[in-house]
């Protein structure tokens, strides 16, 4: 049997920055030309909430974002110096006294020593939420830093809202998930971590974490302000341990800039007026007491801010090939909701939609997505991606380049991680693992791979501009985790800024 094998290295997608300059690496281009969004005010007002000691540490450290910092990592190509916020982003970060609120130390200590874990959790949540609500009026900061001591940052309790029957069902599903993941292939630690960021997690409902509960609670208020949760270690870690102050400044400043409502960079190569939609599933507890899946849609386009929408609830036994799926009516409804939201934000419908999924499409899903899309949009592509045991070794010392597309017969493998030429290194300890990609229906798989590669550069929570998964999929679990904290009649805030 003869196999037709083709290996091609796709060009690295370019990003758009200030003065319409383009480049592949955010840090170096922003250091010269600034951020893409020039509508940001000259000053971004940052609020701070936390225990008095943590607040004071943050107040001393944060002004450093406005000054240059020297990077001390070994790789100068990958870790450039931080030029200061004005040079990189065109803004100055300002901390005003009226936007600084300290948690009462006495109340905090009393709550921390409460013998009931559940009551302690709720009291602490209420203390922080009360302080944050005061910022949600007409006079408000652009973004709020919430300083959490280690005890709160790591706090996790068993979900008290679960019945014994529900807990048993979730624990059974958790065991199934772990067995299914390990049965696919022998994964590296990096692959396991990446898989956990995407796959349905029973653990997300079995336990409540303080960090997650606080972010979800903020979204239930009218006109909330996005928050950035910080630990003391971020501020106090010595410059020669782990990331340098310069690298921490790059990542934190980029995240604050985006959460304040401004884009550091945009894709330069994606087609205009195309809506990319990621579909994922997460555990949720329904009011009747059944353990169900909640479907989620994440949407991205050049024309609008990324958004997320909650879809239908799916019974936990509505699975095929060990994966939950949507009926044709559920898929059609979710597609309709996304198109309605897109039209409301952009003022027009997209000319094309592309759906991304981490499992193959069931016939019902194809029928539902296409029927709803074709009523309103000229073109629709259904693309799937998944982890694979496939590996590719280059002759010599270099790993496969990021962007390598290997096609073997009808199967295609895209390396979204690999050797990075502008850094002259591979940012990983193991052999790069590709994504197997395919489509439901006829499409140009090379063009879909180019789009996927461009969408892996859209995570503004890091300034490196690289990721394993496209943005349509990469923040799916973050949305799902926050949704486990919301009641059945609460709708999550659609803006991506609240999930980062």
Convert the pLDDT of each residue in 458-467 to its tens digit: 989 889 989 8
Compute the half-sphere exposure of residue 93: CA atoms within 13 Å on the CB side of its CA. Answer: 31
Note whether 360 and 245 are same-domain residues: no
- pTM of the entire predicted model: 0.90
- For the cut 60, the answer to whether the pLDDT of residue 255 exceeds it is yes
Q: Which of 4-18, 93-107, 117-131, 152-166 has the lowest mean pLDDT?
A: 152-166
Residue 451 has pLDDT above 90, yes or no: yes
Secondary structure (3-state) at 160:
coil
CB 383 within 8 A of CB 356: yes
Q: Looking at the structure, do residues 215 and 194 belong to the same domain, yes or no?
A: no
In a domain, 361, yes or no: yes
**Both 171 and 301 in a single domain?**
no
Are 173 and 226 in the same domain? no
Does the residue 16 lie in any domain?
A: no
133 CB contacts (<8 Å, ≥6 apart)?
Answer: 221
The stretch 259-287 carries a mean pLDDT of 89
Same domain, 278 and 247: no
For residue 370, pLDDT beyond 90:
yes
**One domain for residues 186 and 230:** no
Residue 402 inside a domain? The answer is yes
Residues 359 and 340 in one domain: yes
Residue 205: predicted pLDDT = 73
Do 469 and 404 belong to one domain?
A: yes
**Is residue 286's pLDDT more than 90?**
no
For β-strands 227-231 and 92-94, DSSP reports them as unpaired
Identify whether 190 is part of a domain: yes
Most confident range, picked from 1-5, 76-80, 152-156, 426-430: 76-80
In the predicted structure, residue 188 carries a pLDDT above the cut 70: no
CATH of the domain at 361: 3.30.420.10
- Determine the pLDDT at residue 177: 60
pLDDT of residue 114: 78
- For 110-132, b/e burial (b = at least 16 CB within 10 A) is ebeeeeeeeebbbbbbebbbebb
pLDDT confidence bin for 184, thresholds 50/70/90: very low
pLDDT for the residue numbered 78:
93
Residues 177 and 247 in one domain: no
Average pLDDT, stretch 170-180? 66
Cα Rg of the chain, angstroms = 23
Using pLDDT thresholds of 50, 70 and 90, give the confidence band for residue 273.
very high
**What is the DSSP secondary-structure string of 56-98?**
HHHHHHGGGGGS-B---SS-TTTSPPB--HHHHHS-EEE--GG
Q: How many domains does the chain have?
A: 3
Range of lowest pLDDT (148-152, 389-393, 419-423, 486-490): 486-490
Same domain for 290 and 420, yes or no, is yes
Helix axes 476-483, 189-198, angle to 10 degrees: 50
Note the pLDDT tens digit of each residue in 23-73. Answer: 999 999 999 999 999 888 999 999 999 999 999 999 999 999 999 999 999
Q: Report yes or no on 15 lying in a domain.
A: no
144 and 211 part of one domain: yes
Question: Would you state the pLDDT for residue 11?
Answer: 96
Q: What's 135's domain CATH number?
A: 3.40.50.2300
Instruction: For residue 152, give the nearest of 71, 53, 288 by alpha carbon.
Output: 53
Task: Please state, in angstroms and rounded to a whole number, the distance separating the CA atoms of residues 443 and 65.
Answer: 46
Q: What is the mean pLDDT of the chain?
A: 88
Q: From CA 149, how far away is CA 147, in angstroms rounded?
A: 7
pLDDT at 186: 52
Give the C-alpha distances (Å, rounded to integers) separating 43 from 66, 229, 308: 11, 21, 29
Last residue of a domain, one of 216, 234, 259: 259
Domain, as residue range, for 109 = 21-156+207-259
**Under 8 Å CB-to-CB from 81, ≥6 apart: which residues?**
31, 68, 69, 70, 71, 246
In which band, very low, low, confident or very high, does the pLDDT at 87 lie, cut at 50, 70 and 90?
Answer: very high
Do 351 and 434 fall into the same domain? yes
What pLDDT shows up at residue 45? 97
If one compares 197 and 66, the residue with the highest pLDDT of the two is: 66
Q: Is the pLDDT of residue 403 over 70?
A: yes
């Amino acid at each position: 049997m003869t196999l037709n094998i083709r290996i091609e290295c796709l060009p690295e997608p370019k990003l758009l920055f200030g003065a319409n300059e383009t480049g592949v690496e955010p840090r170096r281009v922003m250091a010269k030309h600034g951020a893409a969004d020039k509508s940001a005010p000259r000053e971004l007002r940052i609020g701070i909430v936390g225990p008095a000691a943590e607040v004071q540490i943050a107040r001393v450290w944060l002004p450093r974002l406005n000054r240059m910092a020297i990077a001390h990592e070994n790789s100068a190509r990958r870790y450039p110096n931080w030029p200061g916020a004005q040079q990189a982003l065109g803004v100055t970060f300002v901390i005003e006294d009226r936007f600084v609120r300290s948690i009462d130390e006495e109340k905090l200590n009393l709550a921390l020593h409460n013998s009931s874990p559940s009551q302690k959790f709720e009291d602490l949540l209420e203390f922080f939420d009360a302080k944050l609500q005061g910022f949600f009026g007409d006079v408000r900061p652009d973004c709020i830093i919430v300083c959490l001591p280690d005890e709160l940052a790591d706090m996790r309790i068993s979900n008290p809202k679960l019945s014994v029957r529900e807990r048993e069902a979730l624990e059974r599903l958790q065991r199934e998930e772990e067995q299914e993941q390990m049965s696919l292939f022998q994964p590296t630690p990096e692959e396991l971590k990446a898989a956990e960021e995407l796959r349905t997690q029973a653990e997300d409902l079995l336990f409540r974490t303080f960090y997650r509960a606080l972010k979800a609670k903020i979204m239930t208020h009218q006109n909330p302000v996005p928050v950035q949760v910080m630990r003391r270690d971020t501020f106090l870690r010595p410059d020669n341990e782990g990331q340098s102050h310069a690298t921490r400044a790059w990542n934190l400043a980029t995240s604050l800039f985006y959460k304040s409502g401004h884009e550091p960079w945009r894709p330069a190569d994606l087609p205009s007026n195309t809506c990319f939609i990621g579909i994922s599933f997460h555990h949720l507890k329904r009011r009747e007491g059944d353990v169900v899946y909640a479907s989620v849609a994440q949407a991205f386009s050049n024309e609008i801010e990324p958004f997320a929408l909650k879809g239908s609830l799916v019974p936990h036994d509505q699975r095929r090939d060990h994966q939950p799926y949507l009926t044709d009516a559920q898929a059609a409804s979710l597609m309709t909701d996304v198109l309605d939201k897109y039209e409301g934000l952009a003022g027009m419908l997209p000319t094309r939609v592309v759906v991304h999924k981490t499992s193959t499409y069931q016939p019902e899903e194809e029928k539902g997505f296409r029927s709803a899309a074709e009523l309103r949009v000229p073109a629709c592509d259904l693309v799937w991606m998944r982890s694979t045991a496939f590996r590719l070794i280059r002759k010599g010392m270099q790993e496969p380049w990021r962007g390598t597309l290997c096609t073997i017969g009808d199967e295609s493998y895209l390396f979204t991680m690999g050797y990075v030429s502008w850094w002259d290194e591979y940012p990983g300890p193991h052999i790069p693992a590709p994504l197997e990609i395919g489509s439901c229906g006829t499409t140009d798989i090379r063009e879909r791979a180019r789009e996927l590669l461009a969408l892996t550069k859209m995570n503004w929570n890091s300034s490196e501009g690289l990721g394993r998964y496209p943005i349509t999929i990469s923040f799916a679990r973050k949305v799902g985790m926050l949704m486990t904290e919301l009641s059945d009649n609460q709708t999550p805030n659609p803006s991506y800024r609240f999930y980062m």
